[in-house]
Amino acid sequence: MTKEENNGAAEELQIQSKKALKKQQKEAEKAAKKADKQAKLAAEQQTTSEEDFAKDRYGQPAMVQSQQKPDRVLVRIQDLTPEKADQLVWVRARIHTSRAKGKQCFLVLRHQQFNVQALVAVGDRASKQMVKFAANINKESIVDVEGVVRKVDQKIESCTQQDVELHIEKIFVISLAEPRLPLQLEDAVRPDGAGDEEGRATVNQDTRLDNRVIDLRTTTSQAVFRLQSGICHLFRDTLIKKGFVEIQTPKIISAASEGGANVFTVSYFKTSAYLAQSPQLYKQMCICADFEKVFCIGPVFRAEDSNTHRHLTEFVGLDIEMAFNYHYHEVVDQIADTMVQIFKGLRDNFTTEIETVNKQYPSEPFKFLEPTLRLEYKEGVAMLREAGIEMGDEEDLSTPNEKLLGRLVKEKYDTDFYILDKYPLAVRPFYTMPDPSNAKYSNSYDMFMRGEEILSGAQRIHDPDLLTERAIHHNIDLEKIKAYIDSFRYGAPPHAGGGIGLERVTMLYLGLHNVRQTSMFPRDPKRLTP
Amino acid sequence: MPMYQVKPIGGREIRVDLPTCMYRLPNIHRDDGDRDHAFQDAEVDPAVKALEARQDEIMRRLYDLKAAVEGLSKTITTPDADIDVAHLSEVVDSKPLAGTADLDTLLGKNYGALRDIVINANPSHPPLSLLVLHCLLRKRFHVLSTVHVHSSVSNVPPHLLACFEEQDKNQSRHDFQLGFTLIWKDVPTPQMKFSIQNMCPIEGEGNIARFLFALLGQQQDPITATLVDSWIDMAIFQLGQGSSKEKVAVLRTINAALGRSPWLVGANRSLADIVTCCVVLQAAGPVAIPANVQKWMKSCENLPEFNGVYKLLQ
Amino acid sequence: MAEAALKELASLEKYLGLKKTNKYSTKGERKVPVLQTKDGQDIVGLVTIACHLVKAAKQEQLLGRTREESAVVQQWLEYRIVQLGAPGAKEESRSTLRDLNEYLEDKVYFGGDFLSLADILMYYGLHSCMVDLTVQDREKFVNVSRWFSHIQQLPNVQQHLPRVHIMKNRIYTNVH
């Protein structure tokens, strides 16, 4: 289209509003530009087809529809090390960044959290057209690349593979990305505050979560969720070694498990049902059924309308329940040791992940003691009082006091993980076993990471009469918990347990400040998608 | 209501090892308390009190004079020698051991929970003297002893994890008078934390040893205390951290001192013996140990409080 | 407000060792304290009365030993009335604390190196504010806390006010 034609078209449309006119004009211009570009490209291609000696070395092949099973071995980027120097290798990766400079083009190829610098330069292997093609591939596209691994003299600071670069000889696009990305990966990994000074952008949380599929590609997200998987794995591994049995519990239940508040109602054919707030009842039933030591990993639902940094409406619960012989500390020790094994496993096997996250979100390394420090509630209150806080013996810890106590414990014992034992009976649920020596206290405990509660547990009352008595004391309708009480009527071993939230543990271990960062697709009162 | 008068149970003057890096100030809150006490004392019998005070004052002056004269006579007869402090310390009347060491007066206000002494130590260099003192503390108080490993170290040898004797598992934490929490941690020198609100962390094995020893409630006169201090410093800094030349020299000094008396300071086993012996055990290494020192170490080994340490070294 | 001012003056009298013979009242909407002297004259205003009491107790050094020093003392007494006594002072307390924290960074007392009436009145004036601070904030305004702890430990200054707990060690050093 030419400009004159444009004008002619405009005349015809004079009746339309000015806005529409402008819009149309713009679109027309766009179309013109596009056509222009295409024409140019075609022209170029024409010229190239005549003289491009490298035309078989690049391009966009047919979509992979599983047509063939080539014997080509793809090397992973993390394996591109100086040992591979001077070898010709195939690599599949995303275009992380690209920068054309005269007769050469620098690409950064990325696979998961690893990246390497690559170079296409005009020479006997690559033509001018090939360099141009490489430079024009949209960021985030997936490519297959063949090239020679070369050692570099100067370390490439911006890449994970610092000692080598890839000299590309062939490049094919496997999956092309849209030219415009909803967020830039470099922006998404920039540390908070660093963007402000240099006038560069950081990405706000909602944008990240709306475009989670791209956000999850960042090195930080990759590291966070790899570490999270590690926590799950270590949890399962440790408990299996300790002789625990993994169980699955139903998530659709007929009655609210804990009191009834904060529970989601779902329609269930002609009646309604609830989403489980905790697998506690089922864990306890398994104990009564002689499984002795059980754990389960599964979703837990809380209809709490609180938009805080640490509340989700759906999260993954890691729950433990265990029968013990004589003292509930047998259980506390097992749970604490499981946590310590997880922390040790993370410390020893996830160093790179922790470092990667620290680059964007700096935090002190997570410190812990083995065996875990166990303080009594009274001691905690005494420490707070010594620090000038006024509180009653049987008063529950407020969140600020909880955090302050965490700091005090950290300062004295230098641990980010500790247990507070023997809570006042008054602040615990009705099924908590009272302390045999002091009726004001109970056989219950909380565990803390970096001053935030991650686990709340107790020796449960396994005697139906005492349970009934405690329920009446708490003004709980006995009819509603009849099934719960009845499960202890046929002989029940003494038992205790507790549960932790996977997202919260990941967040606190890494010293992050929002649980949404450690939930892949977080659910909170304001977010149901993606 | 009329009550009968009793003497204060605990000694009012408690010696605390204050940091030596700061200058000493008079207690500014003193006046009220003292006035009260003066008043109470006066109620007992002012005349007797005054008389006693006068006698004490005269005695003190006499002792001072005696000490001064003896010192002078020494310098005259042996011009090169300084005042022989070892001799002086016998002249000064050493107070009898204060029987009841009240933890409240020693450690400050009790907030109703276990008072926990936390000691961080490097597993590559176990603070043996603190373990000996721990044994002594356990004889005196009901102590809850626990051992932890900090995440900054891995592979702590099992004998270090079992360095305390087994204790009654049935008691809960608040049944104990004192907590002794040993944490194996990557620290350059042993470190003690007690009250993080009111007290700075105490660094160094010798300084922690002094603090723990003070909890045992033994009172020392200034000269004995100073002698003990100097032995501790010599042991920790010269014997523990010095060159092998220095070590040999210190061992020779110790040997000489032990030639005159079975223990380093005074007639009984003091803190100086505990710390010095532990450092010799740990640091002497290839340096040959002189005869008197060997004999003295044997005596130390026979003391029950050293049991744990020798077991640890085997 | 008025109650506090009268209590403050009573405490100051005790600190100065004056026998309690003075009679106080308040006047006006903002209940400014008034001291009735024996010869029937009224002395009005917290700072004015405080200065009068200091002179009556013959402790003029609390007002500064040189002209320069007394100027500084007067300045802080004025600050005490204007900044801490004004309505809305509570809301601005954080920015006040930030300013004071900066000022006290290299000073032991408000006058620099000598105790003055300014320290005592600032102590009374800041007390309610310090009580409300969290442990973390007390550590954040470390210079104010250090000065405050120092003043409250001086003999006879604390009087009617409860002791504010100031930690000896910093516990938030590594918080990001």
Chain B CB contacts of A441 below 8 Å: none
Looking at residue B98, its pLDDT comes to: 41
% chain A with pLDDT above 70 = 91
Burial track A141-164 (b if 16+ CB lie within 10 A, e otherwise) = bbbbbbbbbbeeeeebeebbbebb
Asked if pLDDT for residue A201 goes beyond 70, the answer is: yes
- Predicted ipTM > 0.85: no
| Residue of A44, A258, A330, A456 marked active site | A456
- Same domain assignment for residues A142 and A273: no
The two three-digit tokens of residue A140, written as one number:
């985030």
| Residue of A98, A453, A462, A503 marked active site | A453
Domains observed in chain B: 109-214 (1.20.1050.130), 222-313 (1.20.1050.130)
Chain A CB contacts of C133 below 8 Å: none
| Residue of A311, A347, A523, A527 marked active site | A311
Report the run of H or E that residue C5 belongs to, with start and end: helix C2-16
Residue A463 located in a structural domain: yes
Residue A64 located in a structural domain: no
pLDDT digits (tens, 9 = 90+) for C162-174: 888 888 888 887 6
pLDDT digits (tens, 9 = 90+) for C104-151: 999 999 998 999 999 999 999 899 889 888 888 898 999 999 999 999
Looking at residue A214, its pLDDT comes to: 92
Between A199 and A310, residue with greater pLDDT: A310
Beta-sheet pairing, B202-203 with C23-27: unpaired
- Same domain assignment for residues A396 and A328: yes
Distances (CA, A) of A232 to A235, A236, A244, A503, C72: 5, 6, 15, 10, 64
- Same domain assignment for residues A278 and A353: yes
Query: Quick one: DSSP state of residue A450?
Result: T
Residue A372 located in a structural domain: yes
Looking at residue A80, its pLDDT comes to: 93
CB A432, CB A443: distance < 8 Å? yes
Looking at residue C100, its pLDDT comes to: 93
From C153, C155, C169, residue closest to B196, measured CB to CB: C169
User: What span, in angstroms and rounded, lies between the C-alpha atoms of A86 and A445?
Assistant: 60
Structural domain of residue A189, as residue ranges?
185-215
Q: Shortest Cα distance from A358 to chain C (angstroms)?
A: 12
Residues 6+ apart with CB under 8 A from A357: A220, A223, A224, A227, A510, A512
CA proximity to C94, closest of C47, C144, C46: C144
A504 is catalytic: yes
- Same domain assignment for residues A108 and A137: yes
The two three-digit tokens of residue C5, written as one number:
């001012």
A527 is catalytic: no
- Same domain assignment for residues A365 and A485: yes
Q: Hey, is the C-beta of B27 within 8 angstroms of any chain C C-beta? A: no
Which chains have 3 or more CB–CB distances shorter than 8 Å to chain A? B, C
Cβ pair B28:C153 closer than 8 A: yes
- Same domain assignment for residues A491 and A442: yes
Cβ pair B193:A369 closer than 8 A: no
Predicted TM-score (pTM) of the model is 0.79
- Same domain assignment for residues A158 and A258: no
Looking at residue B12, its pLDDT comes to: 61
Best residue of A385, A413, A423 to probe chain B, by most B CBs closer than 10 Å: A413
- Same domain assignment for residues A158 and A228: no
Between A413 and B10, residue with greater pLDDT: A413
Q: Count of CB contacts below 8 A, A vs C?
A: 26
Residue A94 located in a structural domain: yes
Long-range contacts of B285-294 (CB under 8 A, 24+ apart): B286/B244, B287/B244, B287/B247, B287/B248, B287/B251, B289/B251, B290/B251, B290/B252, B290/B254, B290/B255, B291/B255, B292/B254, B292/B255, B292/B256, B292/B258, B292/B259, B293/B251, B293/B254, B293/B255, B293/B258
Q: Shortest Cα distance from A405 to chain C (angstroms)?
A: 11
Tens-digit pLDDT string for chain B (314 aa): 557 777 666 666 666 666 666 666 666 665 554 444 444 444 667 888 888 888 988 988 888 888 888 777 765 554 444 444 444 444 444 444 443 446 777 777 777 778 899 999 999 989 999 999 998 998 888 889 999 999 999 888 888 888 887 777 777 787 888 899 999 999 999 999 988 877 788 999 999 999 999 888 777 788 888 999 999 999 988 888 888 888 888 899 999 999 888 899 888 888 999 999 999 888 766 678 888 888 898 888 888 888 888 888 77
Look up the CATH number of the domain holding residue A228.
Answer: 3.30.930.10
- Same domain assignment for residues A149 and A198: no
Looking at residue A423, its pLDDT comes to: 96
Residue A116 located in a structural domain: yes
Residues in C lying within 8 Å of B, measured between beta carbons: 153-155, 165, 167-169, 171
The two three-digit tokens of residue B296, written as one number:
């003295």
- Same domain assignment for residues A366 and A492: yes
Count, in order, helices (H) and strands (E) of chain A: 16, 19
Looking at residue C38, its pLDDT comes to: 74
Chain C CB contacts of A359 below 8 Å: none
A51 is catalytic: no
Residue A440 located in a structural domain: yes
- Same domain assignment for residues A211 and A225: no
Residue owning tokens 């009335």: C81
- How many Cβ atoms sit within 10 Å of the Cβ of residue A291? 16
User: What span, in angstroms and rounded, lies between the C-alpha atoms of A406 and A424?
Assistant: 19
- Same domain assignment for residues A458 and A491: yes
Interface of A with C in 383-412 (CB under 8 A): 387-389, 400, 404, 407-408, 410-411
Q: What is the mean pLDDT of chain A?
A: 88
CB B274, CB B263: distance < 8 Å? no
Asked if pLDDT for residue A220 goes beyond 50, the answer is: yes
Looking at residue C161, its pLDDT comes to: 84
Residue A61 located in a structural domain: no
Report the run of H or E that residue A229 belongs to, with start and end: helix A219-241
Helix axes C93-103, C142-152, angle to 10 degrees: 80
Best residue of A411, A413, A452 to probe chain C, by most C CBs closer than 10 Å: A411
pLDDT digits (tens, 9 = 90+) for A364-377: 999 999 999 999 99
For chain A, the domain total comes to 3
CA proximity to A163, closest of A174, A172, A155, A175: A155
Residue A125 located in a structural domain: yes
Asked if pLDDT for residue A519 goes beyond 90, the answer is: yes
Q: Count of CB contacts below 8 A, A vs B?
A: 71
Residue owning tokens 């003066």: B38
Cβ pair B111:A386 closer than 8 A: yes
Distances (CA, A) of A98 to A118, A146, A179, B253: 9, 17, 13, 74
Q: Shortest Cα distance from C130 to chain B (angstroms)?
A: 17
A111 is catalytic: no
Q: Hey, is the C-beta of B201 within 8 angstroms of any chain C C-beta? A: yes
Beta-sheet pairing, A252-253 with A164-175: unpaired
User: What span, in angstroms and rounded, lies between the C-alpha atoms of A328 and A333?
Assistant: 9
| Residue of A125, A310, A470, A495 marked active site | A310
Residue owning tokens 């049987």: A394
